A and B are shown apart, each in its own frame.
Chain A
């Protein structure tokens, strides 16, 4: 690596387009949004900048606090389910025979490349009242019911448009984000730590809790962040799978910009989301800084 001073021309040549693009088409728009968040709505798309704080004041009204609380716990539950599923999956892939590893890894990541909307749409088709999940449950139900005399024919279940379906959708969409960092850390983990633990008399469960989990913590933290942040700001999944009563903060932001036309309030909500993201990243930074003495 050389110092930028040694080759100033090339340095500036390489850095200018990227810096320009991010500044103009990312930092400036965000700044506009930030200024809007202190403005007042005067027309459909007109905003007067009055440096008022009332948009942020509205954020803590009970109705929005409730939505934010729901966004938080729905994201937390989705993240937890992803973690519980992905941890054993990452292990299974790492300990699989070498010729299986790339195939299993590809199968795990491939859905991540398929369009988010198409995947959510596919889930919609499977979960609706006359979708396949209901068909399978109905088939089972009717079979059991037939054994007991056929008194209670199957009524299709409403599987969509509730918090459960949103959680299922978020897990479906973000699971690969959890598997990848976990796989990377488990793969790097020296397996003799686990063998040493077993050899010293610890059971498999004890080894998992006392050795494996602490040593794979960086991967767990990365995975949790990669799933939790996009879940928190999710808009498409709750919009399609959640219906009217499973609104998350992303849907409120969308409404402010697309139909309610209250941009200042939408901007304030967007920045609450951004601050939350920064808060989570800062927390992560604090965690890694604290455990810096440990070499994994």
Chain B
């Protein structure tokens, strides 16, 4: 990574009453990244974002933006701008006045203000609505105003707090594409806070998954999905089958274990694991067959189809095996007969390649 634009070092936030919202968090965000803070509500992601903006004071630690310590910099002096969850578009100003506000209050010359405002409005395609008041606009339009108002300041970092949560599903889809396009055009670092994994996976270049005030993993979307480091991340990002197992022995390249419902299995592993592990496998990696598969080396188990949910392109199947082990399988309906082939109450075999499973130690 090039020189980091934002450095977060041991940042903590304790609220009065003893709630620890953010606990000793450290990481760097590089130039021009589209960085997502992802986690369930109450995980501290919004608090962290607000501490970067300066709207929330820190209880401890250090935040550097562009190499400068922000400890004594109030929010109005920081090179960051925020798009608020409620947009906070000033209701008593027109669209144009809203966008010009940040330039006006910092003493930018009138003609330059005019030029930059026009540019920003053009960028978010609101030039025609410049004279409107916010109460005559839709949620999506108001969000564009909030975006233009922040971007016109040319911040080093743009902070977005759950920017899509107030929009309806269709608009949300469009805005995702629009935000990625904008980020590429303006070349500013975006930090987005979201609780929606699809949003983070589809937009961000890197994602920090947070829970209980701590960062669980920072990785690219694909890495996060395919190589989660712990149970929480595996479970939070996408769907996953988690199977508890007891390790019986381990060699340099494989681990032998006794898994619930599966019996003895061997999985590839290059790190030493403890006595108990958790085997995580994505539902789309699992396959269903009527007959027992004969290829060697597969993990396989027989069970009863408990539930089939048909979604057109895929079918989600739940199979119950021995020991009360429930396995979720996503079948691609890649032929016309595909989805219909499995029905509730059928006896089937579920199998997958050992390399598709990940061994989680925590």
Contacts and interface: CB of A to CB of B under 8 A. Distances in A.
Interface of A: 97, 190, 192-193, 195-203, 206, 210-211, 214-215, 293-296
B169 to A, nearest CB: 24
A196 B82 contact: yes
Contact of B91 (A195, A199, A201, A215): A215
A211 B91 contact: no
The 9 closest A-B pairs by CB, nearest first: A200-B102, A196-B88, A192-B88, A202-B105, A295-B135, A201-B106, A198-B75, A192-B84, A214-B92
Contacts of A203: 76, 105
14 contacts: A195-B75, A195-B88, A196-B84, A198-B75, A199-B76, A199-B82, A201-B153, A202-B76, A203-B76, A214-B92, A215-B92, A293-B133, A294-B91, A294-B135
A267 B326 CA distance: 89
Kindly state the interface size class of chain B when it binds its partner.
20 to 34
Contacts of A295: 91, 135
B105 A199 contact: no
Given A202-B76, A294-B135, A196 B105 contact: no
A192 B74 contact: no
B19 to A, nearest CB: 13
A206 B92 CA distance: 15
B86 A198 contact: no
Interface string B91-106: 1100000000110011
A198 B55 contact: yes
B84 A201 contact: no
Contacts of B53: 199
A190 B86 contact: yes
B153 A193 contact: no
Contacts of A190: 86, 88
B150 to A, nearest CB: 8
Given A201-B76, A202-B101, A293-B133, 16 more contacts: A195-B75, A196-B82, A198-B74, A198-B75, A199-B53, A199-B76, A199-B80, A199-B81, A200-B76, A200-B102, A200-B105, A201-B77, A202-B105, A215-B91, A293-B135, A294-B91
A195 B88 CA distance: 9
B312 interface: no
B86 A192 contact: yes
B105 A206 contact: yes
Interface string B37-79: 0000000000000000101000000000000000000111100
Nearest to A213: B92
B75 A193 contact: no
Contacts of B82: 195-196, 199
B149 A200 contact: yes
A196 B85 CA distance: 11
Interface string B116-142: 000000000000000001010000000
B205 to A, nearest CB: 24
B90 A211 contact: yes
A196 B76 CA distance: 9
Contacts of B18: none
Given A199-B82, A210-B105, A193 B76 contact: no
Interface in B127-184: 133, 135, 149-150, 153
B16 interface: yes
A106 to B, nearest CB: 22
B101 A200 contact: yes
A192 B74 CA distance: 16
A296 B75 CA distance: 25
A215 B53 CA distance: 23
Contacts of B16: 97
Contact of A199 (B75, B90, B92, B133): B75
Interface string B3-18: 0000000000000100
Nearest to A215: B92
A196 B88 CA distance: 6
A224 B183 CA distance: 48
A98 to B, nearest CB: 10
A201 B102 contact: yes
Nearest to A217: B92
Nearest to B159: A199
B55 A199 contact: yes
Contacts of B86: 190, 192
Nearest to B55: A195
Contacts of A192: 84-86, 88
A210 B106 CA distance: 13
Nearest to A202: B105
